[in-house]
Amino acid sequence: QVQLVQSGAEVKKPGASVRVSCKASGYTFTSYYMHWVRQAPGQGLEWMGIINPSAGGTNYAQKFQGRVTMTRDTSTSTVYMELSSLRSEDTAVYFCARVYSDKWSPFDYWGQGTLVTVSS
């Protein structure tokens, strides 16, 4: 069965960087794009970007351009999301989510979420 297992909660100071991992299993890793979505406490869902696990190409939301980097390791079927220059407003749960079929399709499997807390 398809599973996306994310890394554990992180506490970071303002200005630092955080890297969250998402390990996929149960399907062919390189065949499905992966998105990152975040959710601030009590707030809605915010799309951050997408990565093609096959070629490594990425597309980021303009809001995060210059601060976010999405990468993948095909040998371990893992995608990574690194966010730099953290500020308190980046405190959120970060989810990875797999597409249903091609790039332009809904998100059918989600990781369990990783809480990132930014606090001095």
Partner 1 sequence: EIVLTQSPGTLSLSPGERASLSCRASQSVSSISLAWYQQKPGQAPRLLIYGVSSRATGIPDRFSGSGSGTDFTLTISRLEPEDFAVYYCQQYGSSPFTFGQGTKLEIK
Write the CB contacts of 66 (distance below 8 Å, at least 6 apart in sequence).
none
CB of 36 to partner 1, least distance (A): 11
Q: How many CA atoms lie within 13 A of 109 on its CB side?
A: 19
Apex 22 CA angle, 21 and 28, nearest 5 = 140
CA 61 to CA 35: how far, in whole Å? 11
15/26 with CB nearer partner 1: 26
Residues 97-116 that bind partner 1 (CB under 8 A): 97, 100, 104-108, 110-113
47/80 with CB nearer partner 1: 47
29/64 with CB nearer partner 1: 64
Do 118 and 91 contact (CB within 8 A), yes or no? yes
Residues 39-98 that bind partner 1 (CB under 8 A): 44-47, 50, 59, 61-62, 95, 97
Q: By the criterion CB under 8 A, which residues form the site for partner 1? A: 35, 37, 44-47, 50, 59, 61-62, 95, 97, 100, 104-108, 110-113
